[in-house]
Structure 1
Amino acid sequence: MTDWLMYKEKGLFLQSFHPAASLFYLGTLFVLALCFNNPLYQVGLLLVLLLAIWSVDGLMVWEKYLKLSLFIAIPIVLINSLMGQNGKTIIWLGPQVPVVGQLTISMEAIYYSASMCIRLIEIISVFCLFNRMVHPDKAVSFFARFTGKTALVINMSMRLFPIMVREFERIKTVQRMRGVDFNKGTFLERMKNYSSVVSILLLSSLENSLEMAESMQARGFGSGPRSSYARNLLRPRDFICIFSCGLGLGIGLWGLAHDYGTYTFYPLIGYLISSNASMVVLLLVLLCLSMPVMLSWGGQHCLFIKSKI
Structure 2
Amino acid sequence: MKIIFSSLHPFVNFFYYIGVMILCMMCLHPLFLMGAIIMIVLLNIMQGNGEKIRTMLPSTFLFFVMVIVLNPLLTHRGATTLFRLGDNRITLEACMYGFIMGLLLLAIMFTFTSYNDVISSHKFLYLFSRISPKVALLTMITVRFVPLFIRRLRQITLVQKTKGVQLDSGSFIGRIKNGMKLLQVLLVCSLEDALQTADSMQARGFGVTKRSTYIRYRMERQDWYILACLAILLLSCFVFNFYGAGKLLIYPRVESLVFQQYDGILFVLFILFISLPIIMEGGEWLWWRMQK
Question: Do the structures match in fold with TM over 0.5?
Answer: yes
Distance 1:304 1:18, change over 3 A: farther
Map of 1:133 onto structure 2: 118
Deviations 1:39-64 (A, max 9, x none): 22222222332232232122331233
- Counterparts of 1:133 and 1:196 in 2: how far apart (Å)? 37
Deviations 1:158-213 (A, max 9, x none): 33222222222222222111222322222111111111111111111111111111
Paired AA for residue 23 in structure 2:
L
SS in 2 for 1:302: helix
Map of 1:62 onto structure 2: 53
SS in 2 for 1:178: coil
- Counterparts of 1:46 and 1:173 in 2: how far apart (Å)? 36
Unaligned runs of 5+ in 2: none
Map of 2:189 onto structure 1: 204
Map of 1:119 onto structure 2: 104
Contact 2:72 2:95 in 1 (8 A): yes
- Counterparts of 1:279 and 1:296 in 2: how far apart (Å)? 25
- Counterparts of 2:14 and 2:134 in 1: how far apart (Å)? 20
Map of 1:155 onto structure 2: 140
Contact 2:43 2:114 in 1 (8 A): yes
Map of 1:7 onto structure 2: none
Q: Compare 20-29 and 136-145 and name the one that shifted more.
A: 136-145
Q: How does 1:87-126 map to 2 (within 5 A)?
A: 87-95=78-86, 102-126=87-111
Of 1, 4, 23, which residue of structure 2 is paired with 1:13?
4
SS in 2 for 1:87: coil
Distance 1:143 1:124, change over 3 A: same
Q: CA deviation at 1:28?
A: 0.4
Contact 1:37 1:262 in 2 (8 A): yes
Q: How many residues align?
A: 291
Unaligned runs of 5+ in 1: 1-9, 96-101
- Counterparts of 1:106 and 1:64 in 2: how far apart (Å)? 33
Q: CA deviation at 1:303?
A: 4.2
Contact 1:15 1:133 in 2 (8 A): yes
Q: CA deviation at 1:274?
A: 4.6
Map of 1:24 onto structure 2: 15
Contact 2:67 2:99 in 1 (8 A): no
Distance 1:94 1:289, change over 3 A: closer
Cα RMSD, aligned residues only: 2.2
Paired AA for residue 265 in structure 2:
V
Report whether the alignment pairs 1:82 with 2:69.
Answer: no
Map of 1:234 onto structure 2: 219
- Counterparts of 1:70 and 1:94 in 2: how far apart (Å)? 24
SS in 2 for 1:168: helix
Deviations 1:11-56 (A, max 9, x none): 3222212211111000000001111112222222223322322321
Distance 1:203 1:20, change over 3 A: same
Contact 2:240 2:262 in 1 (8 A): no
Map of 2:41 onto structure 1: 50
SS in 2 for 1:242: helix
Q: CA deviation at 1:288?
A: 3.4
Paired AA for residue 226 in structure 1:
R
Paired AA for residue 60 in structure 1:
E
- Counterparts of 1:275 and 1:15 in 2: how far apart (Å)? 36
Q: How does 1:161-176 map to 2 (within 5 A)?
A: 161-176=146-161
Percent identical residues = 25
- Counterparts of 1:12 and 1:305 in 2: how far apart (Å)? 19
- Counterparts of 1:212 and 1:256 in 2: how far apart (Å)? 47
Report whether the alignment pairs 1:243 with 2:228.
Answer: yes
